[in-house]
Structure 1
Protein backbone atom coordinates (compact mmCIF):
# COMPACT_ATOMS: atom_id res chain seq x y z
CA UNK A 1 0.00 0.00 0.00
CA UNK A 2 1.65 3.29 -1.12
CA UNK A 3 1.79 6.51 0.90
CA UNK A 4 -1.05 8.16 -0.98
CA UNK A 5 -3.36 5.18 -0.42
CA UNK A 6 -2.39 4.92 3.24
CA UNK A 7 -3.10 8.61 3.78
CA UNK A 8 -6.49 8.29 2.15
CA UNK A 9 -7.50 5.35 4.34
CA UNK A 10 -6.13 6.81 7.57
CA UNK A 11 -8.71 7.98 10.11
CA UNK A 12 -8.81 11.67 10.85
CA UNK A 13 -8.81 13.16 14.34
CA UNK A 14 -12.59 13.00 14.33
CA UNK A 15 -12.48 9.29 13.63
CA UNK A 16 -13.77 9.63 10.06
CA UNK A 17 -12.06 8.19 7.01
CA UNK A 18 -11.45 10.10 3.82
CA UNK A 19 -13.48 8.17 1.26
CA UNK A 20 -13.56 10.80 -1.44
CA UNK A 21 -11.74 8.56 -3.89
CA UNK A 22 -13.84 5.44 -3.42
CA UNK A 23 -15.40 5.48 -6.89
CA UNK A 24 -12.90 2.81 -7.87
CA UNK A 25 -12.81 -0.52 -6.10
CA UNK A 26 -9.00 -0.48 -6.20
CA UNK A 27 -6.32 2.00 -7.35
CA UNK A 28 -4.86 1.75 -10.85
CA UNK A 29 -1.50 0.37 -9.67
CA UNK A 30 -3.31 -2.50 -8.01
CA UNK A 31 -5.04 -3.47 -11.24
CA UNK A 32 -1.64 -3.62 -12.96
CA UNK A 33 -0.38 -6.00 -10.26
CA UNK A 34 -3.52 -8.09 -10.66
CA UNK A 35 -2.95 -8.34 -14.43
CA UNK A 36 0.64 -9.48 -13.90
CA UNK A 37 -0.51 -12.12 -11.41
CA UNK A 38 -3.16 -13.42 -13.81
CA UNK A 39 -0.59 -13.69 -16.63
CA UNK A 40 1.57 -15.76 -14.28
CA UNK A 41 -1.43 -17.94 -13.41
CA UNK A 42 -2.25 -18.58 -17.07
CA UNK A 43 1.40 -19.49 -17.72
CA UNK A 44 1.32 -22.04 -14.90
CA UNK A 45 -1.91 -23.56 -16.24
CA UNK A 46 -0.58 -23.75 -19.82
CA UNK A 47 2.61 -25.39 -18.61
CA UNK A 48 0.61 -27.98 -16.64
CA UNK A 49 -1.58 -28.82 -19.65
CA UNK A 50 1.51 -29.16 -21.84
CA UNK A 51 3.28 -31.46 -19.39
CA UNK A 52 0.28 -33.76 -18.98
CA UNK A 53 -0.58 -33.78 -22.71
CA UNK A 54 -4.26 -33.41 -21.85
CA UNK A 55 -7.05 -33.90 -24.38
CA UNK A 56 -8.88 -30.61 -23.85
CA UNK A 57 -11.84 -31.68 -25.99
CA UNK A 58 -12.52 -34.54 -23.57
CA UNK A 59 -12.13 -32.23 -20.58
CA UNK A 60 -14.54 -29.63 -21.93
CA UNK A 61 -17.04 -32.31 -22.94
CA UNK A 62 -17.02 -33.66 -19.37
CA UNK A 63 -17.54 -30.21 -17.92
CA UNK A 64 -20.38 -29.40 -20.31
CA UNK A 65 -22.09 -32.66 -19.31
CA UNK A 66 -21.81 -31.82 -15.60
CA UNK A 67 -24.89 -32.92 -13.67
CA UNK A 68 -26.84 -29.79 -12.62
CA UNK A 69 -27.98 -31.29 -9.30
CA UNK A 70 -24.45 -31.92 -8.05
CA UNK A 71 -23.20 -28.62 -9.49
CA UNK A 72 -25.97 -26.81 -7.60
CA UNK A 73 -24.98 -28.75 -4.49
CA UNK A 74 -21.38 -27.60 -4.83
CA UNK A 75 -22.49 -23.98 -5.17
CA UNK A 76 -24.87 -24.32 -2.21
CA UNK A 77 -22.10 -25.77 -0.02
CA UNK A 78 -19.65 -23.04 -1.04
CA UNK A 79 -21.94 -20.05 -0.60
CA UNK A 80 -23.70 -21.66 2.37
CA UNK A 81 -20.39 -21.38 4.23
CA UNK A 82 -20.22 -17.61 3.65
CA UNK A 83 -22.90 -16.62 6.22
CA UNK A 84 -21.16 -18.91 8.70
CA UNK A 85 -17.86 -17.12 8.01
CA UNK A 86 -19.56 -13.75 8.54
CA UNK A 87 -21.19 -15.04 11.75
CA UNK A 88 -17.83 -16.26 13.05
CA UNK A 89 -16.30 -12.87 12.26
CA UNK A 90 -19.04 -11.18 14.27
CA UNK A 91 -18.38 -13.50 17.23
CA UNK A 92 -14.73 -12.40 17.13
CA UNK A 93 -15.60 -8.74 16.55
CA UNK A 94 -17.91 -8.54 19.56
CA UNK A 95 -14.87 -8.95 21.83
CA UNK A 96 -12.44 -6.95 19.72
CA UNK A 97 -12.89 -3.43 21.08
CA UNK A 98 -13.23 -1.89 24.51
CA UNK A 99 -16.03 0.46 23.40
CA UNK A 100 -19.21 -0.39 25.38
CA UNK A 101 -21.47 0.41 22.42
CA UNK A 102 -19.57 -1.83 20.00
CA UNK A 103 -22.39 -4.40 19.47
CA UNK A 104 -24.74 -1.54 18.51
CA UNK A 105 -22.26 -0.20 15.94
CA UNK A 106 -21.54 -3.53 14.27
CA UNK A 107 -23.43 -4.19 11.02
CA UNK A 108 -25.97 -6.98 11.10
CA UNK A 109 -25.20 -10.34 9.58
CA UNK A 110 -26.31 -9.25 6.05
CA UNK A 111 -24.01 -6.21 6.24
CA UNK A 112 -21.05 -8.26 7.46
CA UNK A 113 -21.74 -10.86 4.79
CA UNK A 114 -21.67 -8.17 2.11
CA UNK A 115 -18.33 -6.86 3.43
CA UNK A 116 -16.98 -10.40 3.62
CA UNK A 117 -17.93 -11.15 0.01
CA UNK A 118 -16.31 -7.92 -1.19
CA UNK A 119 -13.11 -8.90 0.59
CA UNK A 120 -13.38 -12.34 -1.01
CA UNK A 121 -13.74 -10.66 -4.42
CA UNK A 122 -10.50 -8.72 -3.89
CA UNK A 123 -8.78 -11.95 -2.81
CA UNK A 124 -9.81 -13.39 -6.19
CA UNK A 125 -8.33 -10.39 -8.01
CA UNK A 126 -5.08 -9.91 -6.10
CA UNK A 127 -2.42 -12.18 -4.59
CA UNK A 128 -1.33 -12.29 -0.93
CA UNK A 129 -4.88 -12.19 0.53
CA UNK A 130 -5.13 -8.40 0.16
CA UNK A 131 -8.90 -8.70 0.37
CA UNK A 132 -8.52 -9.14 4.13
CA UNK A 133 -7.03 -5.64 4.35
CA UNK A 134 -9.82 -4.28 2.17
CA UNK A 135 -12.62 -5.64 4.34
CA UNK A 136 -11.04 -4.20 7.50
CA UNK A 137 -11.20 -0.81 5.83
CA UNK A 138 -14.81 -1.34 4.73
CA UNK A 139 -15.86 -2.23 8.27
CA UNK A 140 -14.02 0.78 9.70
CA UNK A 141 -15.69 3.06 7.17
CA UNK A 142 -19.16 1.69 7.93
CA UNK A 143 -19.02 1.34 11.71
CA UNK A 144 -16.17 3.53 12.96
CA UNK A 145 -14.49 0.62 14.75
CA UNK A 146 -10.75 1.11 15.19
CA UNK A 147 -8.72 -0.18 12.24
CA UNK A 148 -6.19 -1.81 14.55
CA UNK A 149 -8.89 -3.81 16.36
CA UNK A 150 -10.61 -4.77 13.12
CA UNK A 151 -7.39 -5.94 11.53
CA UNK A 152 -6.65 -7.92 14.69
CA UNK A 153 -9.95 -9.80 14.31
CA UNK A 154 -9.03 -10.73 10.73
CA UNK A 155 -5.70 -12.09 11.98
CA UNK A 156 -7.55 -14.11 14.63
CA UNK A 157 -9.97 -15.43 12.03
CA UNK A 158 -7.22 -16.38 9.58
CA UNK A 159 -5.26 -18.02 12.40
CA UNK A 160 -8.26 -20.18 13.36
CA UNK A 161 -8.69 -21.18 9.71
CA UNK A 162 -5.02 -22.04 9.26
CA UNK A 163 -4.88 -24.09 12.45
CA UNK A 164 -8.02 -26.02 11.45
CA UNK A 165 -6.81 -26.37 7.86
CA UNK A 166 -3.40 -27.77 8.73
CA UNK A 167 -4.73 -30.10 11.43
CA UNK A 168 -7.49 -31.51 9.22
CA UNK A 169 -5.15 -31.78 6.23
CA UNK A 170 -2.64 -33.89 8.13
CA UNK A 171 -5.42 -36.02 9.65
CA UNK A 172 -7.26 -36.58 6.34
CA UNK A 173 -3.95 -37.31 4.58
CA UNK A 174 -3.26 -40.03 7.15
CA UNK A 175 -6.73 -41.49 6.60
CA UNK A 176 -6.50 -41.46 2.80
CA UNK A 177 -2.90 -42.57 2.36
CA UNK A 178 -2.07 -44.20 5.68
CA UNK A 179 1.65 -44.92 5.81
CA UNK A 180 1.94 -44.84 1.99
CA UNK A 181 2.77 -41.15 1.63
CA UNK A 182 4.49 -40.34 -1.63
CA UNK A 183 7.20 -37.71 -1.85
CA UNK A 184 4.71 -35.16 -3.19
CA UNK A 185 2.09 -35.76 -0.51
CA UNK A 186 4.85 -35.87 2.11
CA UNK A 187 6.05 -32.42 1.04
CA UNK A 188 2.48 -31.08 1.31
CA UNK A 189 2.14 -32.56 4.79
CA UNK A 190 5.47 -31.02 5.81
CA UNK A 191 4.32 -27.62 4.52
CA UNK A 192 1.03 -27.94 6.41
CA UNK A 193 2.85 -28.98 9.60
CA UNK A 194 5.32 -26.11 9.32
CA UNK A 195 2.53 -23.60 8.65
CA UNK A 196 0.42 -24.85 11.56
CA UNK A 197 3.32 -24.85 14.02
CA UNK A 198 4.35 -21.35 12.89
CA UNK A 199 0.85 -19.99 13.47
CA UNK A 200 0.58 -21.70 16.87
CA UNK A 201 4.02 -20.42 17.92
CA UNK A 202 3.26 -16.87 16.77
CA UNK A 203 -0.03 -16.82 18.67
CA UNK A 204 1.51 -18.29 21.81
CA UNK A 205 4.49 -15.95 21.82
CA UNK A 206 2.31 -12.93 21.02
CA UNK A 207 -0.03 -13.72 23.90
CA UNK A 208 2.74 -14.43 26.41
CA UNK A 209 4.78 -11.33 25.57
CA UNK A 210 1.98 -8.90 24.77
CA UNK A 211 2.32 -6.77 27.93
CA UNK A 212 6.12 -6.74 27.93
CA UNK A 213 6.34 -5.82 24.26
CA UNK A 214 3.63 -3.16 24.58
CA UNK A 215 5.57 -1.32 27.28
CA UNK A 216 8.58 -1.03 24.95
CA UNK A 217 6.67 0.80 22.24
CA UNK A 218 6.48 4.61 21.90
CA UNK A 219 3.34 6.13 23.35
CA UNK A 220 2.01 7.08 19.91
CA UNK A 221 2.20 3.49 18.67
CA UNK A 222 1.09 1.79 21.87
CA UNK A 223 -2.62 2.50 21.39
CA UNK A 224 -2.56 0.98 17.91
CA UNK A 225 -0.68 -2.04 19.26
CA UNK A 226 -3.19 -2.61 22.08
CA UNK A 227 -6.08 -2.36 19.62
CA UNK A 228 -4.40 -5.00 17.45
CA UNK A 229 -3.81 -7.23 20.46
CA UNK A 230 -7.41 -6.86 21.61
CA UNK A 231 -8.62 -7.80 18.16
CA UNK A 232 -6.47 -10.93 18.05
CA UNK A 233 -6.89 -12.22 21.59
CA UNK A 234 -10.08 -10.51 22.83
CA UNK A 235 -12.29 -13.39 21.67
CA UNK A 236 -10.31 -16.09 23.50
CA UNK A 237 -13.32 -16.68 25.75
CA UNK A 238 -15.45 -17.54 22.69
CA UNK A 239 -13.17 -20.33 21.44
CA UNK A 240 -15.84 -23.09 21.59
CA UNK A 241 -18.20 -21.10 19.33
CA UNK A 242 -15.36 -20.15 16.97
CA UNK A 243 -14.08 -23.74 16.81
CA UNK A 244 -17.59 -25.10 16.16
CA UNK A 245 -18.26 -22.68 13.30
CA UNK A 246 -14.81 -23.34 11.84
CA UNK A 247 -15.42 -27.10 11.85
CA UNK A 248 -18.73 -26.68 9.99
CA UNK A 249 -17.14 -24.29 7.48
CA UNK A 250 -14.37 -26.72 6.57
CA UNK A 251 -16.79 -29.64 6.42
CA UNK A 252 -18.75 -27.70 3.81
CA UNK A 253 -15.53 -27.21 1.83
CA UNK A 254 -15.21 -31.00 1.62
CA UNK A 255 -18.89 -31.32 0.61
CA UNK A 256 -18.30 -28.74 -2.14
CA UNK A 257 -15.43 -30.70 -3.66
CA UNK A 258 -17.28 -34.00 -3.34
CA UNK A 259 -20.29 -32.55 -5.20
CA UNK A 260 -18.10 -30.98 -7.89
CA UNK A 261 -16.43 -34.36 -8.49
CA UNK A 262 -19.76 -36.19 -8.65
CA UNK A 263 -21.00 -33.62 -11.16
CA UNK A 264 -18.51 -35.04 -13.70
CA UNK A 265 -19.07 -38.67 -12.63
CA UNK A 266 -15.98 -38.94 -10.42
CA UNK A 267 -16.82 -40.67 -7.16
CA UNK A 268 -14.47 -39.92 -4.28
CA UNK A 269 -14.63 -40.96 -0.63
CA UNK A 270 -15.59 -38.03 1.56
CA UNK A 271 -12.16 -38.18 3.24
CA UNK A 272 -10.44 -37.82 -0.14
CA UNK A 273 -12.76 -34.97 -1.15
CA UNK A 274 -11.99 -33.19 2.11
CA UNK A 275 -8.26 -33.71 1.56
CA UNK A 276 -8.50 -32.21 -1.95
CA UNK A 277 -10.51 -29.21 -0.72
CA UNK A 278 -8.02 -28.64 2.09
CA UNK A 279 -5.10 -28.89 -0.34
CA UNK A 280 -6.75 -26.29 -2.59
CA UNK A 281 -7.09 -23.92 0.37
CA UNK A 282 -3.56 -24.67 1.55
CA UNK A 283 -2.14 -23.77 -1.85
CA UNK A 284 -3.95 -20.40 -1.84
CA UNK A 285 -1.48 -19.39 0.91
CA UNK A 286 1.25 -19.32 -1.76
CA UNK A 287 1.26 -15.56 -2.58
CA UNK A 288 2.08 -15.83 -6.30
CA UNK A 289 -1.29 -15.47 -7.99
CA UNK A 290 -4.80 -14.33 -6.98
CA UNK A 291 -6.38 -17.11 -4.86
CA UNK A 292 -3.59 -19.43 -6.04
CA UNK A 293 -4.90 -19.58 -9.63
CA UNK A 294 -2.79 -22.06 -11.56
CA UNK A 295 -1.02 -23.31 -8.44
CA UNK A 296 -4.22 -24.72 -6.90
CA UNK A 297 -5.38 -26.45 -10.07
CA UNK A 298 -1.96 -28.05 -10.59
CA UNK A 299 -1.83 -29.34 -7.03
CA UNK A 300 -5.40 -30.69 -7.07
CA UNK A 301 -4.84 -32.50 -10.39
CA UNK A 302 -1.67 -34.04 -8.97
CA UNK A 303 -3.53 -35.30 -5.89
CA UNK A 304 -6.39 -36.75 -7.94
CA UNK A 305 -3.90 -38.58 -10.15
CA UNK A 306 -2.37 -40.11 -7.02
CA UNK A 307 -5.87 -41.23 -6.03
CA UNK A 308 -6.27 -43.10 -9.32
CA UNK A 309 -8.44 -40.61 -11.20
CA UNK A 310 -7.73 -40.40 -14.95
CA UNK A 311 -5.96 -37.33 -16.29
CA UNK A 312 -8.94 -35.88 -18.17
CA UNK A 313 -11.29 -36.48 -15.25
CA UNK A 314 -8.81 -35.00 -12.76
CA UNK A 315 -8.52 -31.83 -14.83
CA UNK A 316 -12.31 -31.67 -15.26
CA UNK A 317 -12.86 -31.90 -11.49
CA UNK A 318 -10.17 -29.29 -10.75
CA UNK A 319 -11.60 -26.83 -13.30
CA UNK A 320 -15.22 -27.35 -12.23
CA UNK A 321 -14.36 -26.94 -8.55
CA UNK A 322 -12.54 -23.70 -9.32
CA UNK A 323 -15.49 -22.49 -11.39
CA UNK A 324 -17.49 -22.85 -8.17
CA UNK A 325 -14.92 -21.60 -5.65
CA UNK A 326 -13.15 -18.91 -7.69
CA UNK A 327 -14.68 -17.83 -10.99
CA UNK A 328 -18.23 -17.66 -9.64
CA UNK A 329 -17.05 -15.03 -7.15
CA UNK A 330 -16.00 -12.82 -10.07
CA UNK A 331 -19.64 -12.95 -11.23
CA UNK A 332 -21.30 -12.57 -7.83
CA UNK A 333 -18.93 -9.96 -6.39
CA UNK A 334 -19.28 -6.99 -8.80
CA UNK A 335 -23.09 -6.62 -8.38
CA UNK A 336 -22.58 -6.67 -4.62
CA UNK A 337 -19.96 -3.93 -4.93
CA UNK A 338 -22.30 -1.83 -7.10
CA UNK A 339 -25.07 -2.24 -4.52
CA UNK A 340 -22.68 -1.38 -1.66
CA UNK A 341 -21.47 1.69 -3.52
CA UNK A 342 -25.08 2.79 -4.08
CA UNK A 343 -25.83 2.31 -0.36
CA UNK A 344 -22.73 4.35 0.51
CA UNK A 345 -23.74 7.21 -1.77
CA UNK A 346 -27.26 7.20 -0.28
CA UNK A 347 -25.77 7.32 3.23
CA UNK A 348 -23.46 10.20 2.29
CA UNK A 349 -26.39 12.10 0.76
CA UNK A 350 -28.42 11.70 3.97
CA UNK A 351 -25.52 13.00 6.07
CA UNK A 352 -24.97 16.04 3.83
Structure 2
Protein backbone atom coordinates (compact mmCIF):
# COMPACT_ATOMS: atom_id res chain seq x y z
CA UNK A 1 0.00 0.00 0.00
CA UNK A 2 2.82 2.36 0.86
CA UNK A 3 4.39 1.73 -2.58
CA UNK A 4 1.13 2.75 -4.30
CA UNK A 5 0.79 5.94 -2.29
CA UNK A 6 4.44 6.85 -2.66
CA UNK A 7 4.37 6.44 -6.45
CA UNK A 8 1.01 8.03 -7.18
CA UNK A 9 2.52 10.09 -10.02
CA UNK A 10 3.67 6.94 -11.74
CA UNK A 11 0.23 5.36 -11.44
CA UNK A 12 -1.55 8.51 -12.55
CA UNK A 13 0.68 8.69 -15.61
CA UNK A 14 0.14 5.00 -16.28
CA UNK A 15 -3.66 5.32 -16.08
CA UNK A 16 -3.74 8.42 -18.29
CA UNK A 17 -1.43 6.77 -20.84
CA UNK A 18 -3.49 3.57 -20.86
CA UNK A 19 -6.65 5.62 -21.35
CA UNK A 20 -5.22 7.46 -24.33
CA UNK A 21 -3.89 4.25 -25.88
CA UNK A 22 -7.36 2.73 -25.48
CA UNK A 23 -8.96 5.79 -27.05
CA UNK A 24 -6.45 5.62 -29.92
CA UNK A 25 -7.11 1.93 -30.57
CA UNK A 26 -10.88 2.46 -30.44
CA UNK A 27 -10.95 5.36 -32.91
CA UNK A 28 -8.20 4.58 -35.44
CA UNK A 29 -8.60 2.21 -38.36
CA UNK A 30 -5.57 -0.01 -37.80
CA UNK A 31 -5.64 -1.39 -41.37
CA UNK A 32 -5.38 2.12 -42.84
CA UNK A 33 -2.67 3.01 -40.36
CA UNK A 34 -0.71 -0.13 -41.27
CA UNK A 35 -1.08 0.68 -44.97
CA UNK A 36 0.11 4.27 -44.39
CA UNK A 37 3.12 3.06 -42.39
CA UNK A 38 3.99 0.48 -45.05
CA UNK A 39 3.90 3.09 -47.82
CA UNK A 40 5.60 5.91 -45.94
CA UNK A 41 8.80 7.41 -47.30
CA UNK A 42 10.99 7.26 -44.25
CA UNK A 43 13.83 9.25 -45.80
CA UNK A 44 11.54 12.30 -45.62
CA UNK A 45 10.73 11.51 -42.01
CA UNK A 46 14.44 11.33 -41.20
CA UNK A 47 15.07 14.70 -42.87
CA UNK A 48 12.08 16.23 -41.05
CA UNK A 49 13.30 14.93 -37.68
CA UNK A 50 16.81 16.25 -38.35
CA UNK A 51 15.44 19.67 -39.32
CA UNK A 52 13.19 19.73 -36.25
CA UNK A 53 16.01 18.97 -33.84
CA UNK A 54 18.34 21.46 -35.51
CA UNK A 55 15.64 24.13 -35.03
CA UNK A 56 15.30 23.07 -31.39
CA UNK A 57 19.08 23.34 -31.04
CA UNK A 58 19.08 26.94 -32.34
CA UNK A 59 16.15 27.84 -30.06
CA UNK A 60 18.09 26.34 -27.17
CA UNK A 61 21.10 28.44 -28.13
CA UNK A 62 18.92 31.56 -28.21
CA UNK A 63 17.48 30.71 -24.78
CA UNK A 64 21.01 30.17 -23.44
CA UNK A 65 21.90 33.76 -24.35
CA UNK A 66 18.70 35.07 -22.75
CA UNK A 67 19.48 33.16 -19.55
CA UNK A 68 23.12 34.28 -19.27
CA UNK A 69 22.43 37.17 -16.84
CA UNK A 70 20.91 34.65 -14.41
CA UNK A 71 23.78 32.19 -14.59
CA UNK A 72 25.76 30.23 -17.09
CA UNK A 73 23.93 27.17 -18.33
CA UNK A 74 25.35 25.17 -21.22
CA UNK A 75 23.43 24.21 -24.32
CA UNK A 76 23.84 20.52 -23.46
CA UNK A 77 22.07 21.13 -20.13
CA UNK A 78 19.34 23.32 -21.65
CA UNK A 79 18.50 21.11 -24.64
CA UNK A 80 16.56 18.52 -22.57
CA UNK A 81 14.71 21.33 -20.79
CA UNK A 82 13.59 22.80 -24.11
CA UNK A 83 12.55 19.43 -25.56
CA UNK A 84 10.57 18.55 -22.41
CA UNK A 85 8.80 21.92 -22.66
CA UNK A 86 7.96 21.36 -26.33
CA UNK A 87 6.73 17.85 -25.57
CA UNK A 88 4.47 19.27 -22.86
CA UNK A 89 3.19 21.89 -25.33
CA UNK A 90 2.13 19.05 -27.61
CA UNK A 91 0.19 17.38 -24.81
CA UNK A 92 -1.10 20.18 -22.59
CA UNK A 93 -3.52 22.95 -23.59
CA UNK A 94 -2.88 26.70 -23.66
CA UNK A 95 0.90 26.46 -24.12
CA UNK A 96 1.33 25.17 -20.58
CA UNK A 97 4.52 23.51 -21.78
CA UNK A 98 6.20 26.88 -21.32
CA UNK A 99 5.36 26.73 -17.61
CA UNK A 100 6.66 23.16 -17.51
CA UNK A 101 9.87 24.35 -19.15
CA UNK A 102 10.35 27.11 -16.54
CA UNK A 103 9.58 24.66 -13.72
CA UNK A 104 12.00 22.07 -15.10
CA UNK A 105 14.68 24.73 -15.50
CA UNK A 106 14.25 25.64 -11.84
CA UNK A 107 14.44 22.02 -10.72
CA UNK A 108 17.42 21.21 -12.93
CA UNK A 109 19.52 24.39 -12.77
CA UNK A 110 18.25 26.32 -9.75
CA UNK A 111 17.33 29.39 -11.80
CA UNK A 112 14.17 31.03 -10.39
CA UNK A 113 10.97 30.09 -12.23
CA UNK A 114 10.04 33.77 -12.60
CA UNK A 115 13.31 34.43 -14.44
CA UNK A 116 12.76 31.40 -16.65
CA UNK A 117 9.21 32.50 -17.47
CA UNK A 118 10.39 36.04 -18.20
CA UNK A 119 12.94 34.78 -20.74
CA UNK A 120 10.30 32.53 -22.29
CA UNK A 121 7.99 35.54 -22.68
CA UNK A 122 10.85 37.46 -24.33
CA UNK A 123 11.33 34.48 -26.68
CA UNK A 124 7.65 34.54 -27.63
CA UNK A 125 7.81 38.30 -28.30
CA UNK A 126 10.84 37.71 -30.56
CA UNK A 127 8.94 34.95 -32.36
CA UNK A 128 5.92 37.22 -32.86
CA UNK A 129 8.03 40.10 -34.14
CA UNK A 130 9.81 37.76 -36.53
CA UNK A 131 6.47 36.55 -37.93
CA UNK A 132 5.27 40.13 -38.31
CA UNK A 133 8.48 41.07 -40.11
CA UNK A 134 8.16 38.07 -42.44
CA UNK A 135 4.54 38.98 -43.18
CA UNK A 136 5.54 42.56 -43.97
CA UNK A 137 8.32 41.44 -46.28
CA UNK A 138 6.30 38.72 -48.00
CA UNK A 139 3.08 40.69 -48.66
CA UNK A 140 4.55 42.87 -51.45
CA UNK A 141 6.51 39.93 -52.84
CA UNK A 142 3.31 37.89 -53.09
CA UNK A 143 1.57 40.75 -54.85
CA UNK A 144 4.42 41.41 -57.27
CA UNK A 145 4.90 37.72 -58.03
CA UNK A 146 1.24 37.43 -58.97
CA UNK A 147 0.47 34.80 -56.35
CA UNK A 148 -2.83 36.48 -55.47
CA UNK A 149 -5.68 36.06 -57.90
CA UNK A 150 -5.40 39.65 -59.09
CA UNK A 151 -8.80 40.76 -57.90
CA UNK A 152 -9.03 44.24 -56.51
CA UNK A 153 -10.03 42.93 -53.08
CA UNK A 154 -7.09 40.54 -52.69
CA UNK A 155 -4.59 43.20 -53.73
CA UNK A 156 -6.13 45.70 -51.31
CA UNK A 157 -6.08 43.15 -48.49
CA UNK A 158 -2.42 42.31 -49.19
CA UNK A 159 -1.39 45.97 -49.22
CA UNK A 160 -3.51 46.56 -46.11
CA UNK A 161 -1.67 43.78 -44.27
CA UNK A 162 1.64 45.21 -45.42
CA UNK A 163 0.65 48.69 -44.24
CA UNK A 164 -0.59 47.54 -40.84
CA UNK A 165 2.48 45.42 -40.23
CA UNK A 166 4.76 48.27 -41.30
CA UNK A 167 2.90 50.66 -38.99
CA UNK A 168 3.20 48.20 -36.11
CA UNK A 169 6.95 47.80 -36.69
CA UNK A 170 7.35 51.59 -36.90
CA UNK A 171 5.41 52.18 -33.66
CA UNK A 172 7.33 49.41 -31.93
CA UNK A 173 10.64 50.94 -33.05
CA UNK A 174 9.59 54.37 -31.76
CA UNK A 175 8.57 52.80 -28.44
CA UNK A 176 11.87 50.95 -28.17
CA UNK A 177 13.83 54.12 -28.94
CA UNK A 178 11.91 56.07 -26.29
CA UNK A 179 12.69 53.39 -23.73
CA UNK A 180 16.38 53.54 -24.63
CA UNK A 181 16.53 57.36 -24.49
Where on the TM-score scale, by shorter chain, does this alignment land: which range? Answer: 0.5 to 0.7
Summarize deviations over 1:70-100 as a string: whole Å, max 9, x none.
Answer: 33212211112111111110011003x3xxx
- Answering whether residue 148 of structure 2 is matched by residue 145 of structure 1, we say no
Give the match's secondary structure for 1:94: helix
Summarize deviations over 1:152-196 as a string: whole Å, max 9, x none.
Answer: 111111111121123224434543454553679958x94xx66x9
1:112 to 51, 69, 78: 78
Q: In 2 relative to 1, CA 77–93 (structure 1 residues): closer, same or farther, beyond 3 Å?
A: same
TM-score, with structure 2 as normaliser: 0.60
Q: In 2 relative to 1, CA 109–208 (structure 1 residues): closer, same or farther, beyond 3 Å?
A: same
Query: Which residue does 1:92 correspond to in 2?
Result: 66
- Answering whether residue 46 of structure 2 is matched by residue 72 of structure 1, we say yes
Which structure is richer in relative contact order (CA contacts within 8 A, separation 6 or more)? Answer: 1
- Answering whether residue 149 of structure 2 is matched by residue 175 of structure 1, we say no
| Structure 1 segments unaligned to the other structure (5+ residues) | 1-20, 36-56, 210-352
**Structure 1 segment 197-346 matched on structure 2, within 5 A:** 197=168, 201=172
Q: Which of the pair is proportionally richer in helix?
A: 2
Summarize deviations over 1:281-300 as a string: whole Å, max 9, x none.
Answer: xxxxxxxxxxxxxxxxxxxx
Aligned-residue CA RMSD (Å): 4.3
Shift of 1:141: 1.8
CA distance in 2, matches of 1:89, 1:82: 10
Q: In 2 relative to 1, CA 116–164 (structure 1 residues): closer, same or farther, beyond 3 Å?
A: same
Give the match's secondary structure for 2:111: coil
| Structure 2 segments unaligned to the other structure (5+ residues) | 1-5, 21-31
Shift of 1:117: 0.7
Q: In 2 relative to 1, CA 164–152 (structure 1 residues): closer, same or farther, beyond 3 Å?
A: same
Shift of 1:68: 2.7
CA distance in 1, matches of 2:55, 2:47: 12
CA distance in 2, matches of 1:172, 1:63: 36
- Answering whether residue 93 of structure 2 is matched by residue 127 of structure 1, we say yes
> Which structure: larger Rg?
2
